[in-house]
Structure 1
Amino acid sequence: MSNGGTIQMRLRSTVAAFVAALSVAMTGVAVLGAPGPFVGSADAATAIRFGRIQYDSPGTDNRSNKSLNAEYVVVRNIGTTSVNLRGWTVRDAQRHVYTFGTFTLKHGTSVTLHTGRGTNTASHRYWGSGAYIWNNTGDTATLRSGSGATQDTCRWTKAGSGATNC
């Protein structure tokens, strides 16, 4: 085999190894059914994603707790296992940050994070803010794991219906 053929084979092998590693890192599943242990942390294999974001509270923005709580973010677990969200964060582009305390999001469920105050439950969490978090004219929501790895982002660039499905 010529030198050119050797380089092509190395390149193919490198690309194949990269694709396999990326697949494992993103899904926890090896490609081509190759056996092996799960590689990476729970962060890399989770399926925690944004759902709907209601960035413009319906009605007049009067900063009442009712109005603040009508601004919210839905976080979904689309995976097959429950995930402890302790230390996970939701943040906007201006670095307003909500940090989950001890909280497990069961597989196939969601939790709604409201901007205002309230009593936390299994399906509703409260930021505790006295001001609106999400910009109606455009913003970026970022979901990070406890280790700081970005798990999902959702962006809108103009005022629209007041909500977006991520």
Structure 2
Amino acid sequence: MKRLVVSGAVAIAGAVAAGLLAAAPAEAASPVQIYRVYYDSPGKDTRSNASLNAEWVQLYNRTTTARQLKGVTLRDKSGHTYRFGSFTLKGHKSVYVHTGRGTNTATNRYWGSKAYIWNNTGDTAYLRYPSGAVADTCKWGGGGSSKYC
């Protein structure tokens, strides 16, 4: 019995050394991440521009390096998609992507939608690089009005 245990330990040690059982590296976190989603604007859902703009997604650059977001997309499960034009997010800064219409600034961007994007009963926000690779996601169920991701 001892011989079998030792043989098994030697085989496992050899496999680890050969890289066969090595753990996969942890997925690298994106420099820009979804920080918070405010999916249920306060008050009644009147579809007024003010109400639509009270629905937003906050993105945060967790690094000290400014990041160009041109071509980066933010979308929901239904496929509603916001695509960044030429826009640079400075290090350790946030940008809010509001659902409604407005004038884009360094801290606020506007989807331009006349309807709500984020479902109050549950949804998922996807942040994707121009290549289509997922940079970050944030999922929530019903209840509450916002989700810290």
Instruction: Identify whether the pair has TM-score above 0.5, normalized to the shorter chain.
Output: yes
Distance 2:15 2:64 in 1: 37
Give the partner amino acid of 1:165.
Y
Residue of structure 2 aligned with 1:84, choices 68, 71, 79: 68
Query: Greater helix percent: which structure?
Result: 1
Secondary structure of 1:108's aligned partner: coil
Counterpart of 1:164 in structure 2 is: 147
2:107 is the counterpart of 1:123: yes
Separation (CA, whole Å) in 1 of partners of 2:17 and 2:136: 30
Tell me which of 39, 47, 56 is aligned to 2:40: 56
The equivalent of 1:33 in structure 2 is none
The offset of 1:132, in angstroms, is 0.1
Alignment of 1:10 with 2:15, yes or no, is yes
Deviation at 1:9, TM superposition (A): 2.0
Say which SS state the counterpart of residue 152 (structure 1) adopts.
strand
Q: Counterpart of 2:4?
A: none
* Structure that is richer in strand per residue: 2
Counterpart CA distance in 2 for 1:4 and 1:61 is: 63
Structure 1 runs, 4 residues or longer, greater than 6 Å off: none
- Which consecutive residues of structure 2, in runs of 5 or more, have no partner in the other structure? 1-6
Partners of 2:10 and 2:126 in 1: CA distance: 44
* Within-5 A mapping of 1:7-156: 8-14=13-19, 15-16=21-22, 19=24, 22=25, 26=28, 46-156=30-140
CA RMSD of aligned residues (A): 2.1
Residue 73 of structure 1 deviates from its aligned partner by: 0.3
> Identity of counterpart residues, as a percentage?
51
- For the residue of structure 1 that corresponds to 2:147, the secondary structure is strand
Task: Return the TM-score normalized by structure 2.
Answer: 0.86
* 1:53-75 Cα distance to aligned partner (Å, 9 max, x none): 11001011110100000000000
Query: Deviation of residue 10 (structure 1)?
Result: 3.3
Count of paired positions: 143
Q: TM-score of the superposition, structure 1-length normalised? A: 0.78
Superimposed CA distance per residue, residues 9-41 of structure 1 (whole angstroms, 9 cap, x where no aligned partner): 23344145x65xx35x726xxxxxxxxxxxxxx
SS at match of 1:26: coil
